[in-house]
Each structure stands twice: as structure tokens, then as C-alpha cells.
Amino acid sequence: MRATCATIHLSALRENLRRVRERAPAARVMAVVKADGYGHGLERVARALEGADAFGVAGIADGQRLRAAGISQRIVVLSGLDEPGDLAQMRRLRLEGVVHTDAQIDALAADRDPRPLRVWLKLDTGMHRLGFAPERAREVYARLRALPAVDKDIVLMTHFANSDVLDDALTAMQIECFQRSVAGLDGERSLANSAGIFGWPQAQGQWVRAGGALYGICVVAGKSGADFGLRPAMTLATRLVAINPVRRGERVGYAATWEAPEDMHIGVAAIGYGDGYPRHAASGTPVLVNGTRAAIVGRVSMDLITIDLCAHPQARIGDPVVLWGGGLPVEEIAEQAGTIGYDLTCGVTRRVRFAEDDV
């Protein structure tokens, strides 16, 4: 069996949820579990996070999976309905929908089902992706409240564009814009994503939407989840499958991009971009061999990486190699690859074996 394994730490998920609650004690927590729980496994994550007040998903299919798994909490489809026919499914599964376009309101207005649907009204305060213009907040809110197909308890929400930059004026402007636009309207408020929870306490409202923080991942430049008291929920690991001598001046890997500076030993580990390890991770990207740092050299290939073992003379075939997890933040690997930690955990492929622990 291929040695590559992603271990999901259930206790870390629960501890990270507790940490979110500590930072936002007056708010309810929506656990965002889209993209198969950020690559950690949708059902696995939701069961571990049974203490969450609601779950956020990207589409109806994920809501269906959660209900089939026995999840009873509120489930919010973050992009809302795609077509009028979705409404019957959303009612059957007791899903709530974000409303961000006039077409969605038109579908609700034409709906004749007497059972009101819970909705979250999204305003675009600066992200410029989904949402109504702030100056339309009162008009759209009034229209929704007048529809028989809509529950009168409407949650008002927005989404931050740059909250991971903790001194960015844009987030402060978005908060002020949102508060001004919804002033006097009944309904709970939801502004803060993970970075907002930890960096913008004035934005917590009655609901916070925790995504990456629950998995122990931070998107604040130069920091990891551990800097905010979070634990990584995934350890990606494999083993050495070969150790080969290389002479000074010999080159390693595709395109011969790395040259040995001395006579040395190169370890070969059973992981590559076919498993979701980033192909663009540069030479020097750290790994842990027997719990101690080493560095990859040469290009990442589909099934294998090569590792400088100069500082590991005792390394042997079969020794463990950790690609990210405790002691080696995924954020650090992502920075080397020019991306973010979310991208890496979401990108772990189906050929990687998954396991769980509760330590």
C-alpha cells in the first residue's frame, strides 16, 4: 500500500471551534465546511464540529450529504439557489439560502409553496463578487419581508475582501458601510470570516462564519494558525522509499534544476503532485524527516520528491516524512509554492489514504 496518508485530528477541530468561541463569545458560529470540509472530509468534519450552531456549504448537494449523515443543525447554502427548481430541494432538506441577486428574489416571489424559507441577505460592501449594492439594502429587505415564501427572520450579511491584512483600511470601510446600510433593520448580523473573528472584533455581530480557522489554517501573511492558538487539523505524511548517493556537481530531478554542492545522500519520498503536494514548491521547501527539518531539492514530480539528507545521516528507508502538520505549518509550505494553505488542504487527491485520530 502506498505510504502517503492524511491524518485528520478530530480533537484539533473541536479545540479550534472552542478557540473561535473564546474570541467571539457573544456570537453564534457557522462552521464553513465547503470544498469537502476544506479537504478534510465533509461528514467527518461536521460530526467533529457537532457543537457548531450552523454549517455553511457551497451547494445543495453538500447539504444533502450532511442531512444523510444525520446533521440536524441549520445549514446555509452560501451561494443560494441557482434556479427556481432548487427551492423544493432546499425545503425538503431544511436548507437556508443566501440571497444576493434579483433573480433569486424573483424565484422566491413566484414560488407558491406555503412553507417559508429562511434566507440570509447579502450586501456587497467592497468584495465586488456577490451581493446587493449597499444603497439597495432597505429596498431589497422590504421586498423579501413582503414575500410569503420567505421567513421574516432575515439575517443580514456581508463578506470581507481583505480582512487578513489586519491594518487594512478597506475592512474598516466595509464594516462602516454595512452598519450604515442596515441601521434600523430587524435581523441578526453576520460579517466576520475567520480573519475577521481574530483581527476585527468590532465585526463579530450575532453570527461569525469560521472557515480556515477551524482547520487550524491562517491566511495572515507571515503567520500560522498556531500564532492565534489554533491547531492544524491535518497531517500529511509519507515515508522514504529510497536513499541514493549523489556526487558533487550531479543534478537531481526533472529539467536538472538542482545541482549537488557536495557528495551527499538524497532521500526519495513517496509523494508528489499526483497526491496534491504542490508542484511549484521550490528547492528548500521544508519537510520533517523523523521529526526534524530537511529540505526538498529539485522539482516535485507526480509521485515522488527528493530530499537533502545531509543533516540526517541516520535516515533509513521507511522513515516517516511529514509534509505539513504539527511542527510544520501548511502555511509555510503554501508560501514556498506561491499559494495559501486552503489551496493545499483542498487539493489532497483521492489516491491519498485518509485516517483519523482523536488525540
Q: Are 237 and 323 in contact (CB under 8 A)?
A: yes
Q: State the Cα–Cα distance between residues 116 and 102, nearest whole angstrom.
A: 18
- The DSSP call for residue 118 is P
Which CATH superfamily includes the segment(s) 234-357?
A: Lyase, Ornithine Decarboxylase; Chain A, domain 1 (2.40.37.10)
pLDDT beyond 80 at 1: no
Q: State the Cα–Cα distance between residues 24 and 228, nearest whole angstrom.
A: 13
Whole-number pLDDT of residue 178: 98
Give me the residues paired with residue 31 across strands: 55, 210
Could you read off the pLDDT of 230-257 as tens digits, one per residue? 999 999 999 999 999 999 999 999 999 9
Whole-number pLDDT of residue 55: 98
Q: State the Cα–Cα distance between residues 101 and 80, nearest whole angstrom.
A: 9
Q: State the Cα–Cα distance between residues 75 and 86, nearest whole angstrom.
A: 15
Could you read off the pLDDT of 27-83 as tens digits, one per residue? 999 999 999 999 999 999 999 999 999 999 999 999 999 999 999 999 999 999 999
Could you read off the pLDDT of 98-114 as tens digits, one per residue? 999 999 999 999 999 98
Place of cell 509534509: 323
Q: Are 151 and 99 in contact (CB under 8 A)?
A: no
Grid cell, residue 173, equals 470601510
CATH of 10-219 among 3.40.50.300, 3.30.559.10, 3.30.420.40, 3.20.20.10:
3.20.20.10
Grid cell, residue 146, equals 413582503
Q: Are 225 and 23 in contact (CB under 8 A)?
A: no
Give me the residues paired with residue 294 across strands: 287
Report residue 325: phi and psi, to 5°.
145, -155
Q: Per-residue pLDDT averaged across 164-190, rounded? A: 96
Q: State the Cα–Cα distance between residues 191 and 235, nearest whole angstrom.
A: 30
Q: State the Cα–Cα distance between residues 55 and 125, nearest whole angstrom.
A: 23
- Provide the residue ranges of all domains of the chain, joining segments of one domain with +: 10-219, 234-357
Whole-number pLDDT of residue 2: 85
Q: Are 190 and 182 in contact (CB under 8 A)?
A: no
Mean pLDDT, the chain, as a whole number?
A: 97
How many Cβ atoms from other residues are within 10 Å of residue 234's Cβ? 27
Grid cell, residue 211, equals 472557515
pLDDT beyond 80 at 165: yes
Which are the catalytic amino acids?
34, 254
- Burial of residue 119 (CB within 10 Å: 0-12, 13-18, 19+) is buried
Whole-number pLDDT of residue 359: 84
Q: Are 147 and 110 in contact (CB under 8 A)?
A: no
Handedness of CA 124, 127, 128, 131 (dihedral sign): negative
Percent of the chain topping pLDDT 90: 96
Instruction: Give the distance, in angstroms, between the CA of residue 341 and the centroid of all CA atoms in the same chain.
Output: 8
SS3 label, residue 296? strand
Give CB contacts under 8 A, 24+ apart, made by 21-26.
Answer: 23/197, 23/198, 23/201, 24/192, 24/197, 24/201, 24/204, 24/208, 26/204, 26/206
Could you read off the pLDDT of 284-308 as tens digits, one per residue? 999 999 999 999 999 999 999 999 9
Q: State the Cα–Cα distance between residues 190 and 155, nearest whole angstrom.
A: 7
